[in-house]
Every structure is written in structure tokens, then in C-alpha cells.
């Protein structure tokens, strides 16, 4: 059987043209996906049942036992942390927010360690963005700043930029100009029309120089700015000013370097300057599958996109204080529920050391680095493969994802809903 138009559950591109071949209830072939997406559909060795740590070994336990353990762990904790959420659907994220409010915990998603600074910059100066479809059909200049889509979002180029046909563009494949700004020559830089190599930490200065040139202050630019020559800066500014429609996509190479959200704010302000002359947009290259959705769901439900602390009985938001890494580094939280992410693979050592000292329940189909620190791991259906639901693409478009195979595994939403019901019942008693 072939399932057509499946949605890839790996990166923020959410490619929705995937064909998945199913035989005897298993995925045996994937067409149209990149290697990252195909690997996600084909899957690996999954946990068969929930497991609980017993000394140095693991014991198989039932779903009932595992769910009860997680509910009691959250109810008994003084300051529980509910973290992750980017690899799961909006429906599960909603239940997570209700749970965090009920136990007065801190709920945070992976954007606090990736595009959190972008969210802060957008809160300050707004977001002149657009959908991927608009870029595909209209953009004649595309800039990738501090991002390397060939390796991280492989089909971004073939579906929306470099290699995509544009409805309103003649010869888009040949005429569309691609500019890459980065500190090293990435694989994406190799195919760019213009590669701007910036000295590490120099992005803010380069953005400011481009803003000055766009404002007509070319004479104020020194011979080089953060390793970029004045001639190249003028050439890049000219390419942008002569574009009919330009799009900037930025990645962690801009958000996670010194200057953080101020770099993104400066990039947004460059785009605002360019919009005095032509049309330009700017968007973040969101990495995790539904990380955009976790910001959306948290915002509708609490008013804030990530790092929400319910300990005061109301939603409180202060990134740098209420973000998961800060709560863990201060050793404040005394229990953690991890859903749809693998913090042990990304967090600073200090945070992981604290995770190893407190009870941790993880919902994940596969053993991963966080498994080593868990008290209990509950295997769930793979979001977007054997669980359907709603995810947000990197441009903010919500997409209903399909279930391409059936399995006996419960979804994240099923497990969380049961956990939440037990917690509500216990609090009534
Ligand atoms: Fe999946 Fe991203 Fe590859 Fe598209 S680009 S197939 S969403 S991993």
C-alpha cells in the first residue's frame, strides 16, 4: 500500500508530498523525502514496553504503572519541570500546558535553546514574514544567514528557494540569486552566488554596515567590517536593493552567538530598511518538527511562547530565569517530565547532572541519551508516523499530519491525557 501526501515529521519544513510504502504494517519505502526524513519514517529499534530503573537495571512495567508513577511524581514535586514538546503534536502540547498549570510547574520547550532569541527580537520589533509558498513563487533574492539548509533542512532549497520554480518568476532556477552569510564555507555556501564570510561574532557589525549602506551612508563604512570587505558589502546591498522580492532565512548561527536576540533584531531592522525600497521578508529556520507549534500553543494558552512558570498560580515569563536550563542549573526543580525531545543530548553538563539526581519521566519511542537519566521511560507512537495530529510548519502554517501506519503504541496525547485525568482525580480527593 502507498500512502500519498504524508507529512514528514522531522524538520520544520514539514514537507507534505511524501509517499510512504507500507508492507505488513511496516514502512518499507519512502519517496520524495530527504535522507533525514526517510530515516525518521523507516524508524529503528523501539522500546516495547515502559521501563523503570531499578538500581543499575531496568524493569518492564505496564502503561498503567508508568502513567501512575508520572502523575504521582508531578503531584509530589515542589517545582516540577515539563520540558521538550517540539517533537510532538499541538494536541499533546495543550494537555502539557494544563498539567503544568495544575501542578504549578515550569513548562518550557526546545525553542529556549534554539530560536528563543528570535522570539524575543520579534516581540520587540515585529516580524515581516511570509509563507514558504510566497518565497517560492516570488523571491528573486534569498539570503541564508547563519544557517546551512543543505545539511539541516535539505529540501528547503529544492521546494522553496534555489531549485524551485516560481509562479511569478521567469527563469527562477537560473536568475534567483542566493547569498549565504556564515563564519565558514558550508555546503550551502558552495552553491551560493555570493558567499559572505564573517569573522565569528561579527554578524551584528555586518548587519549594521548593510543597514548604513541601504540608508545611503556608504562613506561611513571602513575598508573591512568583521572580515568582510567594503566592496562586498556594497555588492550585497545592491543585490538586495535591486531585488523585486527578497527573503532572509536565519539560523542558530545568528541566534546562538554573542549578541543573541540583538543580532536578530538588527537583521529584522535591516529588512525594515530594505522595505523602504523594495519587498523583503525575514524568517527563522525552525529546526525541530513542531517547535513553531509549541510556541503557538503556549502563546494561545498562557500569553507566552516558552519558559512559563506557574508557581505563582498565574503564568509568569522571564527567559533567563524561567527557561529550563536556568531552572536546572540552579538545581531548583525536583522532578522532570520530558516529552518530544532529548535534553541530555543538548543541555549543558550542569543541567544534566541535576537531571540525574531527580526523578525524570520521559515519553519517547526510542532509547536516547536522556534514557540514561530517566526513572521511567514510556514508549509512545512516533508522531507523524503512527500518530496523527496538528503541527506548525516553520512559516506558521498549521498542517494536519497523517498516521501512515497503525500500531499498539499510545500517542503522546493519549498518555498525557490519562496522566492529567489521574492528577485531577487525586487533587479532588
Ligand atoms: Fe523531512 Fe525536513 Fe527533509 Fe522535508 S526537508 S523531508 S521535512 S527532514
Domains, in order of start, for the chain: 44-114+289-428 (3.40.50.740), 116-284 (3.40.228.10)
Q: Is the CB of 41 under 6 A from ligand 1?
A: no
Atom of ligand 1 at shortest range from CA of 11: 2
Question: Considering only CA atoms, which residue is closest to atom 5 of ligand 1?
Answer: 155
Higher-pLDDT residue of 259 and 189 is: 189
Is the model's pLDDT at 25 over the cut of 90? no
Q: Is the CB of 113 under 6 A from ligand 1?
A: no
Q: Give yes or no for a contact between 130 and 394, defined as CB atoms under 8 angstroms apart.
A: no
CA atoms of 374 and 23, how far apart (whole Å): 34
Per-residue pLDDT, 292:
96
Q: Which residues pair with 58 in a beta bridge?
A: 53
Per-residue pLDDT, 108:
97
Per-residue pLDDT, 43:
87
Q: 255-281: per-residue pLDDT in tens? A: 999 888 999 999 999 999 999 999 999
Q: Is the CB of 81 under 6 A from ligand 1?
A: no
| % of the chain beyond a pLDDT of 90 | 91
| % of the chain beyond a pLDDT of 70 | 100
Per-residue pLDDT, 172:
79
Residue 43: all three cell numbers together? 524508524
Per-residue pLDDT, 341:
94
Q: 132-158: per-residue pLDDT in tens? A: 999 999 999 999 999 999 999 999 999
Is the model's pLDDT at 56 over the cut of 90? no
Q: 290-300: per-residue pLDDT in tens? A: 999 999 999 99
Q: 361-418: per-residue pLDDT in tens? A: 999 999 999 999 899 999 999 999 999 999 999 999 999 998 999 999 999 999 999 9
Is the model's pLDDT at 171 over the cut of 90? no
pLDDT band at 166 (very low <50, low <70, confident <90, very high): confident
Distance from residue 154's CA to the centre of ligand 1 (Å) = 6
Q: Is the CB of 233 under 6 A from ligand 1?
A: no
Q: Is the CB of 6 under 6 A from ligand 1?
A: no
Q: 90-129: per-residue pLDDT in tens? A: 999 999 999 999 999 999 999 999 999 999 999 999 989 9
Distance from residue 14's CA to the centre of ligand 1 (Å) = 6
Residue 337: all three cell numbers together? 517530565
Distance from residue 153's CA to the centre of ligand 1 (Å) = 6
Distance from residue 218's CA to the centre of ligand 1 (Å) = 40
Enumerate residues 6+ apart whose C-beta is below 8 A from 75. 103, 423, 426, 427
Distance from residue 177's CA to the centre of ligand 1 (Å) = 23
Question: Considering only CA atoms, which residue is closest to atom 1 of ligand 1?
Answer: 37
Enumerate residues 6+ apart whose C-beta is below 8 A from 55. none
Q: 362-371: per-residue pLDDT in tens? A: 999 999 999 9
Q: Is the CB of 138 under 6 A from ligand 1?
A: no
Per-residue pLDDT, 170:
80
Q: 303-350: per-residue pLDDT in tens? A: 999 999 999 999 999 999 999 999 999 999 999 999 999 999 989 999
Amino acid at each position: 500500500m502507498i500512502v500519498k501526501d504524508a507529512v514528514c515529521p522531522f524538520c520544520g519544513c514539514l514537507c507534505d508530498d511524501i509517499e510512504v510504502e507500507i508492507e505488513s504494517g511496516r514502512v518499507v519505502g519512502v519517496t520524495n523525502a530527504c535522507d533525514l526524513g526517510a530515516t525518521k519514517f523507516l524508524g529503528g529499534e523501539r522500546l516495547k514496553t515502559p521501563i523503570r530503573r531499578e538500581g543499575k537495571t531496568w524493569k518492564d512495567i505496564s502503561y498503567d504503572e508508568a502513567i501512575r508513577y508520572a502523575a504521582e511524581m508531578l503531584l509530589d514535586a515542589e517545582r516540577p519541570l515539563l520540558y521538550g514538546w517540539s517533537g510532538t503534536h499541538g494536541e499533546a502540547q495543550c494537555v502539557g500546558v494544563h498539567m503544568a498549570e495544575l501542578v504549578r510547574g515550569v513548562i518550557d520547550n526546545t525553542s529556549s535553546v534554539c530560536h528563543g532569541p528570535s522570539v524575543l527580537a520579534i516581540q520587540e520589533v515585529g516580524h515581516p514574514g511570509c509563507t514558504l509558498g510566497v518565497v517560492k513563487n516570488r523571491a528573486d533574492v534569498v539570503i541564508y544567514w547563519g544557517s546551512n539548509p543543505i545539511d539541516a533542512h535539505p529540501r528547503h532549497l529544492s521546494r522553496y528557494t534555489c531549485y524551485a520554480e516560481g509562479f511569478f518568476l521567469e527563469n527562477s532556477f537560473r536568475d534567483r540569486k542566493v547569498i549565504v552569510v556564515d563564519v565558514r564555507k558550508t555546503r550551502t555556501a558552495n552553491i551560493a552566488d555570493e558567499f559572505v564570510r564573517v569573522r565569528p561574532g561579527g554578524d551584528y557589525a555586518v548587519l549594521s554596515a548593510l543597514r548604513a549602506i541601504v540608508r545611503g551612508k556608504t562613506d561611513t563604512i571602513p575598508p573591512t567590517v568583521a572580515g568582510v570587505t567594503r566592496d562586498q558589502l556594497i555588492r550585497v546591498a545592491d543585490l538586495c536593493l535591486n531585488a523585486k522580492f527578497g527573503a532572509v532565512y536565519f539560523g542558530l548561527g545568528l541566534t546562538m552567538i554573542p549578541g543573541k536576540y540583538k543580532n536578530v533584531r538588527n537583521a529584522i531592522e535591516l529588512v525594515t530598511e530594505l522595505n523602504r525600497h523594495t519587498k523583503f521578508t525575514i524568517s527563522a529556520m525552525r529546526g525541530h518538527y513542531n517547535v513553531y507549534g509549541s510556541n503557538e500553543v503556549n502563546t494561545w494558552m498562557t500569553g507566552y511562547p516558552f519558559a512559563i512558570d506557574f508557581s505563582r498560580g498565574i503564568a509568569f515569563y522571564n527567559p533567563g530565569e524561567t527557561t529550563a536550563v536556568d531552572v536546572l542549573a540552579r538545581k531548583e526543580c525536583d522532578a522532570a517530565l520530558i516529552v518530544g525531545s532529548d535534553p541530555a543530548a543538548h543541555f549543558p553538563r550542569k543541567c544534566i547532572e541535576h537531571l540525574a539526581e531527580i526523578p525524570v519521566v520521559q515519553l519517547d519511542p526510542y532509547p536516547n541519551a536522556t534514557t540514561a537519566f530517566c526513572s521511567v521511560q514510556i514508549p509512545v507512537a512516533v508522531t507523524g508516523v503512527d500518530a496523527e495530529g496538528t503541527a506548525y510548519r516553520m512559516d506558521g502554517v498549521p498542517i494536519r499530519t497523517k498516521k501512515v501506519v497503525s500500531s499498539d503504541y499510545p500517542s503522546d496525547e493519549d498518555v498525557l491525557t490519562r496522566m492529567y485525568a489521574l492528577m485531577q482525580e487525586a487533587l479532588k480527593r
